[in-house]
Amino acid sequence: MAHLGADVAAYVDGQLSETAMQAATRHLGTCDECAKAVRQQALLKSRMSTVATPAPPPRLLESLAGLASATPVRETWWERVCRSVPFRAGLVVVGASVAVIVAAYAVGSPDGTTGDTVVPPYDRYAADFSGATTVDASNTISDATMSQLDGSGWPCLATLAGDLRRTSGSYVDHHETVALSYSNGDAKLNLYEQTGVLDHDSLDGFKAAKMGSALVWIRDGVPMLVTWDDDGVVYTIATNADRGRIARAVAELPKGAYRQGPVGRVGDGLSRMTSWVNAA
Ligand SMILES: [Zn+2]
């Protein structure tokens, strides 16, 4: 049969005729596109009804608490998010930073060439490395949420370069950047991930270098700063680890692994958000 199209809502509401219902169910078994539409519709319905609502995942909500008031400041990508109808639905549903940040990834430039150029605050990252700032508790990202981000194009690996273990994760810079800290008790590595394309004009003091198969920009010092972009996400590392270990960490992070068309990214992002909520 043809795609469900406008019948998606009726299907979810159980308002199709028995025959149509059976045909639709058969179709859903073979059509990812319609199955995704049904999941989204079911999600919308469950979150928008005021009675008999299934309980949302408490840990997800917990991790989102206090974050929903964040106001996006970079209008350019935000406007793109708002124009994206599937994401408008997703944002209504989830309405918080995870949705925003996943959306930011999903609508980011697929080829890494047309996104907003960004200048990571290198000096502040260096100062943060020395312990100058503490993270506001409300900006902490729970382990569960990091797992979700990790599946949505924001690598939040539990370990890097062998024995560097993730010690914390938080949102910084108006919730537009994911900041992760790693340590093995000796070496320490902070990793920042934000959407955009690296502004090459801002790299004074950096030198281009090859690390494994990756082209990165390095600023020597303590901490050493390493930055690069891939597929619409800018990665910046601040670390006192030795160069060999940094190279291993870089090799474990994306340099094209997440490449995919924008439509697929939006769909994947939404279906992941849907599955988190449905899994509760
Ligand atoms: Zn279909």
List the CATH number of the domain containing 192: 3.40.1000
Pick the most confident of 13-22, 79-88, 180-189.
Answer: 180-189
pLDDT at 78: 44
* Cα-to-centroid distance, 32 and ligand 1 (Å): 7
* Same-domain status, 17 and 140: no
pLDDT at 135: 65
* Same-domain status, 126 and 239: yes
Determine, yes or no, domain membership for 53.
no
* Same-domain status, 39 and 85: no
pLDDT in tens, 24-77: 989 988 988 888 778 767 655 644 443 333 444 555 555 555 454 444 444 444
Tokens of 143: 């382990």
The overall longest dimension of the chain from CA atoms, in Å, is: 70
Report the share of the chain in percent with pLDDT over 90.
29
145 CB neighbour count, 10 Å cutoff: 24
pLDDT in tens, 230-247: 877 889 999 999 999 999
Contact 232, 109 (CB under 8 A): yes
* Same-domain status, 140 and 83: no
Determine, yes or no, domain membership for 188.
yes
* Cα-to-centroid distance, 14 and ligand 1 (Å): 17
* Same-domain status, 15 and 126: no
Range of the domain at 245: 117-252
pLDDT at 271: 54
Element (H, E) at 177: strand 177-183
Q: What's the whole-model pTM score?
A: 0.55
pLDDT in tens, 252-269: 998 733 334 444 445 555
* Same-domain status, 201 and 272: no
* Same-domain status, 96 and 122: no
pLDDT at 216: 92
**Residue 141 clears pLDDT 80, i.e. is over it:** yes
* Same-domain status, 121 and 168: yes
Quick one: pLDDT band at residue 139, thresholds 50, 70, 90? Answer: confident
pLDDT at 277: 52
Determine, yes or no, domain membership for 50.
no
* Cα-to-centroid distance, 11 and ligand 1 (Å): 13
* Cα-to-centroid distance, 272 and ligand 1 (Å): 19
More confident residue, 18 or 67: 18
Please name which of 194, 241, 236 lies closest in space to residue 222, comparing C-alpha atoms: 241
* Same-domain status, 17 and 70: no
Determine, yes or no, domain membership for 9.
yes
Across residues 112-126, what is the average pLDDT? 77
Beta bridge partners of 238: 190, 225
* Cα-to-centroid distance, 106 and ligand 1 (Å): 22
* Same-domain status, 157 and 243: yes
Beta bridge partners of 177: 172, 194
**Average pLDDT score, the chain:** 73
Contact 225, 120 (CB under 8 A): no
* Cα-to-centroid distance, 8 and ligand 1 (Å): 10
Report the share of the chain in percent with pLDDT over 70.
61
* Same-domain status, 34 and 75: no
The total domain count for the chain is: 3
154 CB neighbour count, 10 Å cutoff: 24
Determine, yes or no, domain membership for 80.
yes
* Cα-to-centroid distance, 268 and ligand 1 (Å): 16
* Cα-to-centroid distance, 93 and ligand 1 (Å): 23
Across residues 157-170, what is the average pLDDT? 93
